[in-house]
Structure 1
Amino acid sequence: MKILVATDGSKASEGAVKYAARLFKSFSANSHITVITVQDDSSLRFFKKHTPKGAVEDYLREVADKNLAWAVKYLNKIKLPHDMAIRYGHPSEQIINEAKAGKFDMIVMGTKGRSSWSDTAIGSVAQRVVGTSKTPVLLVKD
């Protein structure tokens, strides 16, 4: 079983990592877990023109490392082998692309359980992944 766990550093994504770890332990020895974080760089393209070369990329990498830090520390603590992936672009698209390219059997994501107008009108990352992914998605509610 190949599990892709999306994390953004939030408490909801911490719950997803913990749940995926429990799933991983219940499957066969051939299981595999990858933790992914996606940095949406679309709004920062303007700043690339007006900042020193590489400054935006360095910033995005720093945020990505911070988002992955808890998950990596937790998975190391429980001695669970894992991989990490950092992608840039629209989060739902990148998560779906990674799941497809890596032939993952499942995507695990946290959800805050909000139903604000903006989430309804625009759609949360979790809603978009659930609505468009061909890979099964398990949402872990915070």
Structure 2
Amino acid sequence: LVQSNFGGRLTIAGVPMSDLEPQPPAPPHTGSSIMIVVATDLPLSNRLLNRVAKRATLGLARTGSSGGHGSGDYILAFSTTYRQEGDMLGIRLALSDNEGEIDPVFQATADATEEAILNSLFQAERMVGRDGNAREKLPIDRVKELLD
């Protein structure tokens, strides 16, 4: 899940989207931000959840964001698993004893973050901000053309 308010050089599937229909000139860049929420049902420790949260930035980078000065990027990761002492001990031990097994979780986090960002751009509604600055959602048909 993302709340995106950031800029950069939009990239989709490795293809720069610089040829999209022109938008009105952006106001001078004074900073931007994104909030990312990563939820899993895996019984991960706080330390592993922190590592998972850091991987969300990889999905963010895939979309062209560089996290520059003034960027307020917030990432929250949590597990929905209800844990009591001894519950799911085997899974927890497997992940803590052999942390190499968590690599697919890192990959899924980056993929899901990228997908959530693109979804937020394709499904956005027209927005008028300060001083009448307006932005439109991404034109899906035009993006498809650029990807072909």
Instruction: Answer yes or no: same fold by TM over 0.5.
Output: no
Determine which structure has more spread, i.e. the larger CA radius of gyration: 2
Scaled by the length of structure 2, what TM-score is found?
0.36
